[in-house]
């Protein structure tokens, strides 16, 4: 990365002038506290990630999957981090940074609600007022996370523009920030947005691969041949890749949401997928030049995925650059494969993954033959939040992979699938 925040041709700072001073202030704070550990910032963060967050998270061998695929399969368990997803690494880092910067209020956007819940927890932990912007569509499909944020004392503000998902939530949070920039810090939830966010969020999540690399050497006695992580905006992805990027023998796979189809409907402005790395092209969105899902004119498309956390029309500029350079393989699996993988991991290994995470396991199922002898996957989050969606989607698709809901029917109770 260069000092101006560019990754090859990607990155930069495409934001309204009103935000530029705040972004310069943040760049300065990032360099001093995060990169140079001024005032012991890194030490305090590391302590809090241990005492409050539960780091380090374990890495273990998945015995049934190893047998199923005839290779060594290891799981890095970010689902066991406090809050149930990797998101706390960044949220806690940025709330703490906001405190060091003397800010008095936190705002954040959220898609699936994982970043929102992590931010709400971190803000409560560090005693900072917190407001979370969330698209109304996502609020409807991620109710448990909305309750969690509110229980932590955060204000959850619905965003009603557009399709009401992550893209609109980011735009709305940027608007809030433009009005409140003097005392407010915006905690962006992925490696997207203007510099320094992509580099800073990556650095906060790099602890995932710092641990995983060491744990692989201890547990497996070697580095993996392949590292897999799901990719929406790309924060767990870059966190999981960061310490392996210089290991030439380690292939890195970013598994995107193929949704229901990789084709696009230009007239309707809809891409029924979120496979930005695989199918997007260069554009400017939310403060950065990166790959985006857009029509021929440059209007941003509405993305889709069964997983709210991957449902985004952009992607981190650094990840886009690593894909162009060939260091990262951009691959994708569709909604059905992700749902099947969700049930498989739950049944075979006793781990209920987030639907986002399930995409990485869908790719493992389909392409394990190409992945070498030793594979490690990042379990970026746990799937409790997705159970309602999974039950509905599984039954509506007649997928022969999940538990049947006959039990409820026999008891005369209500089931999500009874209209089938």
Partner 1 sequence: MSLDAAFDDPAFVPYLAVGDPSYEQSLRYVEALADGGADAIELGLPFSEPIAEGSTIQSAIVRALEAGMTPGRYFEFVAELDVDVPLVCMTYYNLVYQYGSEAGPRPFVERAAEVGIGGFVIPDLPAEEAAPLREACDEFGLDLVFIVAPTTEGERLDRMHEFVSGYVYVQARLGTTGAREEVSEYTERSLARIADWDVPKAVGFGIKTGDHAERIVSAGADGVIVGSALVDIVAEGHENDDPTGVVAERLERKARELKRGAVRGLGETAPGQ
8 lies in the site for partner 1, by CB under 8 A = no
Beta strands in 169-213, from DSSP E residues, in sequence order: 184-187
User: Which CA distances in Å does 289 have to 176, 213, 297?
Assistant: 22, 30, 16
- Cα atoms in the 13 Å half-sphere on the side-chain side of 327: 14
161 lies in the site for partner 1, by CB under 8 A = yes
Shortest Cβ 165–partner 1 spacing (Å): 12
User: How many chain residues touch partner 1 (CB under 8 A)?
Assistant: 37
282 lies in the site for partner 1, by CB under 8 A = yes
DSSP output for 77-106 = -GGGSTTSBTTHHHHHHHHHHHHHTT--EE
403 lies in the site for partner 1, by CB under 8 A = no
Q: How many helices (H) and strands (E) does the chain have?
A: 17, 14
Going by the DSSP 8-state scheme, the letter that residue 34 receives in this structure is I
17 lies in the site for partner 1, by CB under 8 A = yes
109 classed as catalytic: yes
Distance CA 377, CA 388 (A): 25
372 lies in the site for partner 1, by CB under 8 A = no
Which residue, 200 or 371, is less far from partner 1 as judged by CB?
200
266 lies in the site for partner 1, by CB under 8 A = no
Q: Report how far apart the first and last C-alpha atoms of the chain are (Å, whole number).
A: 52
Catalytic residue among 87, 103, 167, 291: 87
* Cβ–Cβ < 8 Å for 198, 318: yes
Near partner 1 in 318-357, by CB under 8 A: none
Catalytic residue among 72, 109, 321, 349: 109
298 lies in the site for partner 1, by CB under 8 A = yes
14 lies in the site for partner 1, by CB under 8 A = yes
From the list 111, 116, 287, 362, which residue makes contact with partner 1 (rule: CB under 8 A)?
287
Which residue, 283 or 372, is less far from partner 1 as judged by CB?
283
From the list 144, 158, 283, 417, which residue makes contact with partner 1 (rule: CB under 8 A)?
283
Catalytic residue among 305, 380, 385, 393: 380
225 lies in the site for partner 1, by CB under 8 A = no
Going by the DSSP 8-state scheme, the letter that residue 183 receives in this structure is T
Shortest Cβ 188–partner 1 spacing (Å): 13
396 lies in the site for partner 1, by CB under 8 A = no
Which residue, 9 or 247, is less far from partner 1 as judged by CB?
9
299 lies in the site for partner 1, by CB under 8 A = yes
Closest CA to 52 of 21, 23, 16, 93: 93
261 classed as catalytic: no
From the list 174, 188, 306, 364, which residue makes contact with partner 1 (rule: CB under 8 A)?
174
Tally Cβ neighbours within 10 Å of residue 348: 15
178 lies in the site for partner 1, by CB under 8 A = yes
User: Which CA distances in Å does 252 have to 85, 130, 229, 305, 353?
Assistant: 21, 35, 8, 22, 20
Which residue, 166 or 331, is less far from partner 1 as judged by CB?
166
From the list 22, 154, 199, 227, which residue makes contact with partner 1 (rule: CB under 8 A)?
22
260 classed as catalytic: no
Near partner 1 in 93-152, by CB under 8 A: none
Sheet with strand 226-230: strands edge to edge: 59-61, 72-76, 374-378, 226-230, 251-259, 328-334
Place of tokens 């912007």: 133
Distance CA 171, CA 176 (A): 9
From the list 185, 205, 286, 304, which residue makes contact with partner 1 (rule: CB under 8 A)?
286
Exposure of 206 by Cβ count < 10 A (0-12 exposed, 13-18 middle, 19+ buried)? middle
Please list the active-site residues. Answer: 87, 109, 380
Residues contributing to the site for partner 1 (CB under 8 A): 4, 12-18, 20-22, 24, 161-162, 167, 171, 174-175, 178-182, 269, 282-287, 292, 294, 296-300
């Amino acid at each position: 990365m260069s000092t101006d925040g560019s990754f090859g041709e990607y990155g930069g700072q495409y934001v309204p002038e009103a935000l530029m001073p705040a972004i310069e202030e943040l760049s300065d704070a990032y360099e001093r506290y995060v990169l140079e550990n001024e005032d012991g910032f890194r030490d305090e963060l590391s302590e809090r990630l241990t005492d409050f967050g539960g780091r380090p998270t374990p890495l273990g061998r998945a015995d049934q999957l190893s047998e199923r695929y005839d290779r060594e399969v290891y799981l890095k368990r970010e689902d066991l981090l406090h809050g149930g997803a990797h998101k706390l690494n960044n949220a806690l880092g940025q709330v703490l940074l906001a405190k060091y910067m003397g800010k008095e209020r936190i705002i954040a956007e959220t898609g699936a609600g994982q970043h929102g819940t992590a931010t709400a927890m971190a803000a409560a932990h560090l005693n900072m007022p917190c407001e979370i912007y969330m698209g109304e569509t996502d609020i409807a499909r991620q109710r448990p996370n909305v309750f969690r944020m509110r229980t932590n004392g955060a204000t959850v503000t619905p965003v009603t523009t557009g399709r009401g998902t992550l893209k609109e939530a980011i735009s709305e949070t940027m608007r809030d920030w433009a009005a409140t920039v003097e005392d407010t810090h915006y905690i962006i939830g992925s490696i997207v947005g203007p510099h320094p966010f992509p580099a800073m969020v990556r650095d906060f999540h790099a602890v995932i691969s710092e641990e995983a690399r060491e744990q692989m050497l201890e547990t497996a006695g070697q580095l993996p041949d392949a590292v897999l992580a799901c990719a929406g905006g790309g924060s767990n992805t870059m966190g999981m890749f960061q310490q392996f990027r210089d290991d030439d023998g380690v292939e890195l796979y970013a598994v995107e949401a193929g949704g229901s189809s990789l084709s696009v409907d230009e007239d309707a402005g809809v891409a029924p997928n979120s496979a930005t790395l695989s199918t997007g092209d260069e554009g400017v969105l939310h403060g950065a030049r990166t790959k985006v899902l857009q029509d021929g004119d440059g209007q941003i498309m509405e993305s889709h995925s069964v997983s709210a956390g991957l449902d985004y029309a952009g992607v981190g500029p650094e990840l886009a650059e690593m894909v162009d350079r060939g260091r990262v393989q951009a691959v994708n699996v569709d909604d059905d494969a992700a749902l099947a993988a969700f049930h498989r991991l739950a049944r075979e290994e006793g781990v209920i993954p987030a639907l986002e995470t399930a995409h990485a396991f869908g790719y493992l199922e389909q392409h394990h033959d190409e992945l070498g002898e030793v594979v490690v996957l990042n379990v970026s989050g746990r799937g409790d939040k997705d159970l309602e969606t999974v039950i509905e989607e599984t039954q509506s698709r007649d997928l022969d992979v999940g538990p049947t809901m006959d039990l409820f029917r026999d008891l005369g109770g209500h089931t999500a699938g009874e209209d089938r």
